[in-house]
Amino acid sequence: MAEQDVSVGQLLLAEYQSVKDEQKARIGFRDNLLYVTLAVVAAVIAAAAQAKQSSMLLALPPVCVVLGWTYLVNDEKISAIGRYVRDELGPRLSQLADTSGGFAAFGWETAHRSDARRGTRKAIQCVVDLTAFCAVPLAALVVFWASGEGGGLLVGLSVLEALTVVGLAVQVVLYTRPA
């Protein structure tokens, strides 16, 4: 075998590094979406309060849905990368490294999932996601509706926004994987 030849193991390790780099970038991006959402919510609430215009709160649902959906999609890709490493790359590399079947590559990918409190953390994270991306915009809609402000068009828009937020909430719950 020539020096420039690349082994299957090297290719698998290069692929592992590549998908882990993508996973790391997605984790940072996903986590920052929560901070962006908090900043947008604070800015819209402050502007609505200062202007004494509850109709300005109608900006929150679409923004929260877009940020929430982006968060959810990135979270799913992060999980998909973990599954791929556990189910595909790890076993293939293990098979190359140890013909007796006793070696498991990338053990951390599986080990960290066996924590007894993982289910609790996932449930709490689901509540945090639902609060940030769904409960806050729904609360803004309730404030708008209670204010009695706006005509039929704005009320109709607000109902459509509420349905969209509820749709996102359903997706957040559906994407939550059992521990």
**pLDDT score of 113:** 77
- Residue 61: CB atoms within 10 A of its CB come to 26
pTM over 0.85: yes
Nearest 5 degrees, angle CA 37-CA 175-CA 111? 100
SS3 108: helix
Task: Give φ, ψ of 104 to 5 degrees.
Answer: -120, 115
Alpha-carbon distance values, 110 to 82, 122, 176 (Å): 9, 16, 18
- Residue 149: CB atoms within 10 A of its CB come to 17
Give residue 57's pLDDT band: very low, low, confident or very high (50, 70, 90): very high
- Residue 83: CB atoms within 10 A of its CB come to 11
97 has a pLDDT exceeding 90: no
Give residue 99's pLDDT band: very low, low, confident or very high (50, 70, 90): low
Alpha helices in the chain (DSSP H): 8-51, 60-84, 90-97, 108-111, 118-130, 136-147, 152-175
SS3 129: helix
Average pLDDT score, the chain: 91
Residue 61 contacts by C-beta under 8 Å, 6 or more apart in sequence? 137, 138, 140, 141, 158, 161, 162, 164, 165
159 has a pLDDT exceeding 70: yes
Asked whether the CA dihedral 93, 97, 101, 102 is positive or negative, the reply is negative
Residue pLDDT, tens place only, 9-18? 889 999 999 9
Mean pLDDT value of segment 113-122: 86
Name the residue among 48, 67, 76 with its Cα closest to residue 139.
48
32 has a pLDDT exceeding 70: yes
Give residue 101's pLDDT band: very low, low, confident or very high (50, 70, 90): low
